[in-house]
Amino acid sequence: MRRNILVTAALVPALLWTVPASAEPLIYGLQVEQAERRFDDGSDLYAWDFDALVGTDELKVVWRSEAEYLTEGKQFETLENQLRLQKPISTFFDAVVGVRLDTPRGEDRAYGVVGVKGLAPQWFEIDADLYVGETSFVRIEAEYEGLITNRIILTPSVELDTPLGDDAELGVGAFAPKLELGARLSYDLLDRAVSPYIGAHYERRFGETADLARAEGEARDNLFFVVGTKMLF
């Protein structure tokens, strides 16, 4: 016992050192899913969709930004910025809470966000969010990375944005969703850092939401040819 005490005493200075043997540095990065130009007859636009994140395995702060910028009118058709906290809740899924501020032309809107994000069986990347605001929305996104080769990747995606109430100012009707389908064929040019792509992007509005769009002189569906690049830094 006495020996134990002696050795323990000898260990004390070492135990006081606080330098961890493997300190975990902050994880940070910029993940750009879309940075593209969408071509349609006469109404081209630029679009982006990225997550900038910083944090640890246990908690990340994410700035998510999505936008569509019209080249004709030189204005944002949509501009959403979210500040999200992301925390693991299972092996493959994170819970998300945050705020979202939309500042396109016209009405600004603020929402609270709760959602989940993760990897479903068969490798589907899933984002499912509830946006709570003046008019609330449910948005579900799914994406799949299909490897043609180890560098040429076809990424089909689907996004369904469903308003839970009527909002004439936003041009949406309750439970009349907007659907976006995409297919982007990318090539990993520089590691995974820069992956240019071409593809197609299709949008369609349903029900009341489509009617309101038509009243604004917009089509209820659009098909774009897209050119852009994915990025990961």
First to last CA, the chain: 55
Window 184-203: contact mask with other proteins (x via CB under 8 A): -------xx-----------
Which residues neighbour 146 within 8 Å (Cβ) at sequence distance 6 or greater?
153, 154, 155, 156
Contact 176, 205 (CB under 8 A): yes
Q: Rule CB under 8 A: which of 129-168 touch other proteins?
A: 146-151
Classify 222 in phi/psi space as left (phi over 0), alpha (psi -120 to 50) or beta: beta
∠ CA 80-86-87, nearest 5°, is 165
Q: Which is nearer to other proteins, 18 or 42 (CB)?
A: 18
Q: How many whole angstroms from its chain centre is CA 84?
A: 11
Q: Which is nearer to other proteins, 42 or 91 (CB)?
A: 91
> Which alpha helices (DSSP H) does the chain contain, by range?
2-16, 207-215
- Rounded distance between C-alpha atoms, residue 173 and residue 150, angstroms: 43
Q: Which of 29, 73, 106, 112 binds other proteins (CB under 8 A)?
A: 29
Residue 25 contacts other proteins per CB under 8 A: yes
Rg (alpha carbons) of the chain, rounded to whole number: 23
The DSSP code for 26 is: P
Which of the stretches 107-115, 117-125, 174-182, 212-220 binds other proteins when contact is defined by CB under 8 A?
117-125
Residue 6 contacts other proteins per CB under 8 A: yes
Q: Which of 12, 21, 42, 74 binds other proteins (CB under 8 A)?
A: 21
Q: Which is nearer to other proteins, 154 or 179 (CB)?
A: 154
Q: Is 199 helix (H, G, I), strand (E, B) or coil?
A: strand
Q: How many angstroms separate the Cα of 83 from the Cα of each of 23, 63, 65, 163?
A: 27, 5, 9, 21
Window 30-59: contact mask with other proteins (x via CB under 8 A): -x-------------------------x--
Residue 12 contacts other proteins per CB under 8 A: no
Residue 74 contacts other proteins per CB under 8 A: no
Q: Which of 22, 42, 74, 216 binds other proteins (CB under 8 A)?
A: 22
Residue 119 contacts other proteins per CB under 8 A: yes
Q: Which is nearer to other proteins, 94 or 159 (CB)?
A: 94
Q: Rule CB under 8 A: which of 80-99 touch other proteins?
A: 88, 91-92
Q: How many whole angstroms from its chain centre is CA 139?
A: 11
Binding site for other proteins (CB under 8 A): 3-4, 6-8, 10-11, 14-15, 17-22, 24-25, 27-29, 31, 57, 88, 91-92, 119, 121-123, 146-151, 191-192, 232
